Amino acid sequence: MSLDQRRFVFVTGKGGVGKTTVTAAMATALAARGKRVLIAMSGAHERLSSMLGHPAIGHDVVPLGTNIWATLIDANRAMQEYGELVIKVRAIARLVFENRYTHGFFRAAPGLHDWALLGKAWWHTTELLQGQPRYDIVLFDAPATGHGLDMLRVPKVILDVVPPGILRRDAEQAWELFHDASKSGVVVVSLPEDMPVTESIELVTALRSELEFPLERVVINAIFPNLFDEAERLALTADSALFEAARRGQHMAPPEAALAAGVRRAAREDIQARNIERLRNAIGGETTLLPFLLGTAGTPAGIRELSRHF
């Protein structure tokens, strides 16, 4: 299934692994191929606008370049908009949602806060412009939560507990879209290190076994170029005393210091190679490898460079 055919993509992964960077790169690639892309995201400190060379993004949808739009979703605002749809009379909805007691109640209701974000992002897939979908694809840059999948469980929770009505109808439609492998997919962003790879494998396993959501691909981000091949890495890390000293950063005079730097690099490349292999073997799906960009990753030039991988 090609990324270009999808209507909704959920980008997830642990905090700081590069979700926003990957979202920006994917959007750039899709837009260059003529797709109208909306990036929906949440969170107080959005970095997307600077990555794409644009002033800060607000809650309204703003164009970020040819074929790319973005919007910052605020859960409380989205919940109030929902309330207005459900309660219909705006003034009453305001009273309910701006009352600090009910406000607290809605925040505490399990899943409702998450649904406000995810449901609003999903809603953008239903928007029409002159009878045609306004956006070809919505990329949702999901907030880093304890477990990236909690948010994806929410439509199901709503289906289980909420009586028929607008909220339930929307959750049903969203759930259907998210399960449709020809229209939706999850992108799991990872790093070529032990912990992130273990967590990504768990995430993909849960995605497949429990939620049965289609996986679009796993992106392994920030990969260092290899200076050494496997035999050289083996040779460099073979001397355990030198390896230990290098690992501890023990002070050495040249030329040992240069050798120690080589040993550290070889060890790092080895960890990287093993983790890429481990992740690929475990998921057996499509993986995209992105290079580590020194200094430019958060800039429009860096995003353009990364976009070539999608």
Ligand X SMILES: Nc1ncnc2c1ncn2[C@@H]1O[C@H](COP(=O)(O)OP(=O)(O)OP(=O)(O)O)[C@@H](O)[C@H]1O
Q: How far is the CB of 141 from Mg ion (least distance, A)?
A: 6
Interface residue list for ligand X (CB under 6 A): 13, 15-21, 47, 144, 221-222, 290, 292-293, 297-298
**Residue 18 touches which of Mg ion, ligand X, none (Cβ within 5-8 Å per kind):** ligand X
Neighbours of 50 (CB within 10 A): 15
Q: How far is the CB of 280 from ligand X (least distance, A)?
A: 18
- In the complex with ligand X, the residue whose CB is nearer, 74 or 170, is 74
Q: How far is the CB of 50 from Mg ion (least distance, A)?
A: 12
Count, residues near Mg ion per rule CB under 5 A: 2
Q: How far is the CB of 97 from Mg ion (least distance, A)?
A: 27
Q: How far is the CB of 159 from ligand X (least distance, A)?
A: 28
**Residue 80 touches which of Mg ion, ligand X, none (Cβ within 5-8 Å per kind):** none
Where do the H-state alpha helices sit in the chain?
Answer: 19-32, 48-51, 75-87, 90-98, 100-108, 112-126, 150-161, 166-179, 194-206, 230-236, 240-247, 256-283, 300-307
221 binds Mg ion (CB under 5 A): no
42 binds Mg ion (CB under 5 A): no
**Residue 196 touches which of ligand X, Mg ion, none (Cβ within 5-8 Å per kind):** none
237 binds Mg ion (CB under 5 A): no
**Residue 16 touches which of ligand X, Mg ion, none (Cβ within 5-8 Å per kind):** ligand X
Q: How far is the CB of 148 from ligand X (least distance, A)?
A: 10
Q: In what order do the strands lie in the sheet with 62-65?
A: 62-65, 68-72, 37-41, 137-141, 8-12, 184-190, 215-223, 287-291
Helix axis angle, 100-108 to 90-98, nearest 10°: 80
Shortest CA distance to 118 belongs to which of 133, 139, 135, 137? 139
| Distance (Å, whole) CA 41 – CA 172 | 22
| Binding piece for Mg ion, criterion CB under 5 A, among 16-24, 50-58, 108-116, 242-250 | 16-24
Q: How far is the CB of 192 from ligand X (least distance, A)?
A: 11
Residue 75 structure tokens: 């859960």
Neighbours of 306 (CB within 10 A): 26
The residue with its CB nearest to Mg ion is 20
20 binds Mg ion (CB under 5 A): yes
* Interface with Mg ion in residues 278-307 (CB under 5 A): none
**Residue 190 touches which of Mg ion, ligand X, none (Cβ within 5-8 Å per kind):** none
Cis omega before residue 133 (within 30°)?
A: no
**Residue 297 touches which of Mg ion, ligand X, none (Cβ within 5-8 Å per kind):** ligand X
| Distance (Å, whole) CA 38 – CA 47 | 16
- In the complex with ligand X, the residue whose CB is nearer, 18 or 83, is 18
What spatial distance separates the first Cα and last Cα of the chain, rounded to whole Å?
A: 13
| Distance (Å, whole) CA 80 – CA 97 | 6
Q: Which amino acid type is present at position 287? A: T
Q: What is the DSSP letter of 227?
A: S
- In the complex with Mg ion, the residue whose CB is nearer, 20 or 237, is 20
Q: How far is the CB of 43 from Mg ion (least distance, A)?
A: 7
Shortest CA distance to 302 belongs to which of 36, 46, 20? 20
Neighbours of 88 (CB within 10 A): 10
- In the complex with ligand X, the residue whose CB is nearer, 87 or 144, is 144
Residue 109 structure tokens: 């209701």
275 binds Mg ion (CB under 5 A): no
Site of interaction with Mg ion (CB under 5 A): 19-20
